[in-house]
Amino acid sequence: MTPVFEVNGLKKAFSGLAVTNDVSLSMASGDRVALIGPNGAGKTTFVNLVTGHLRPDAGDVRLNGEVVTGINATGRVRRGLGRSFQVTRLFQDMTPAEHVGIAILQRDGRSGRMFGNFLSMPDVMEEATGLLSGLGLLDLMHRKVSEIAYGQQRLLEIAMALALRPKVLLLDEPAAGVPQSDTGRIERALADLPADLAVLMIEHDMDLVFRFAKRVIVLAAGTIIFDGLPSEVTKDARVREAYLGSYADASHAA
């Protein structure tokens, strides 16, 4: 299957220290991939490189076969690369409907109208309502973000990313900071993502990783040390040493 997302030989160093060290990977439409690794492994730097927030020292990034390494973050979004952040970046005085409405207008190149009353634009509101309904946020769509729970804010971020109609979605710890009682909502949202969407999720919750991912990539010291099936990752000696030792031991003991 033709890759929709490719990273080839990506390198980045800060003050001579390699943070991303010759990283290569590819994803096809519909892939569900988890990127895991210890703190300091270079996961966030990798995401910033592929989304255009950092420039690599070497290597390239491709979307649908097009090299986008020299294209800025906005250009990559327009070409189908979506992202959520580890910490929410929402406006507390705005509503979910307004957040998603703005994302739709940006996608359609109608950003000049985003400060108008797009709540009266039937096409925008119909799409926003559908996205928010699908994530269980319909009853909250006109409430301020500051009035809704943190787990619901994380779902809103996913709604905004989906509003951009990405072909590839990067999720940076979508369950981070969410109470255990609300993680089920996040999991349901992940399960309901479009089947043809390629999803790369960074996550520390290994139980969530194993329920979500069909493939696991392990990053350690900026280098990929494993790329394969979830059923094999806990058996890999390098992965156990670098990251999964206690989890793997517990899994085998269970």
- Give Cα 118 distance to the centre of its chain: 27
Q: What is the DSSP string of 5-28?
A: EEEEEEEEEETTEEEEEEEEEEEE
Instruction: For residue 235, give both structure tokens.
Output: 């058996």
Q: Are 11 and 18 in contact (CB under 8 A)?
A: yes
pLDDT confidence bin for 118, thresholds 50/70/90: low
Q: Are 61 and 7 in contact (CB under 8 A)?
A: yes
Domain count, the chain: 1
Q: Residue 105: exposed, middle, or buried by beta-carbon count in 10 A (0-12, 13-18, 19+)?
A: buried
Per-residue pLDDT at 253: 41
Indicate the pTM of the whole model.
0.87
CA 125, CA 113: separation in Å to the nearest integer? 14
Q: Are 144 and 92 in contact (CB under 8 A)?
A: yes
Give the model confidence (pLDDT) of 28-81 as tens digits. 999 999 999 998 899 989 999 999 999 999 999 999 999 999 999 989 998 999
Sheet arrangement for strand 3-14: 17-28, 3-14, 58-63, 66-67
Per-residue pLDDT at 113: 55
CA 243, CA 218: separation in Å to the nearest integer? 9
Per-residue pLDDT at 254: 38
| Domain enclosing residue 187, as ranges | 3-253
Per-residue pLDDT at 247: 54
Per-residue pLDDT at 22: 95
In this model, does residue 88 exceed pLDDT 80? no
Per-residue pLDDT at 248: 54
Give me the residue label for tokens 């709604």: 159
Give the model confidence (pLDDT) of 125-157 as tens digits. 999 999 999 889 999 999 999 999 988 998 999
Report the CATH number that the domain containing residue 145 is assigned in CATH: 3.40.50.300
Give the model confidence (pLDDT) of 207-241 as tens digits. 899 999 999 999 999 999 999 999 999 888 999 88
CA 139, CA 229: separation in Å to the nearest integer? 39
In this model, does residue 85 exceed pLDDT 70? no
Beta strands, E only, 56-208: 58-63, 66-67, 81-84, 168-172, 198-202
In this model, does residue 109 exceed pLDDT 70? yes
CB atoms within 10 A of CB 136: 14
Give the model confidence (pLDDT) of 169-192 as tens digits. 999 888 888 888 778 888 888 999
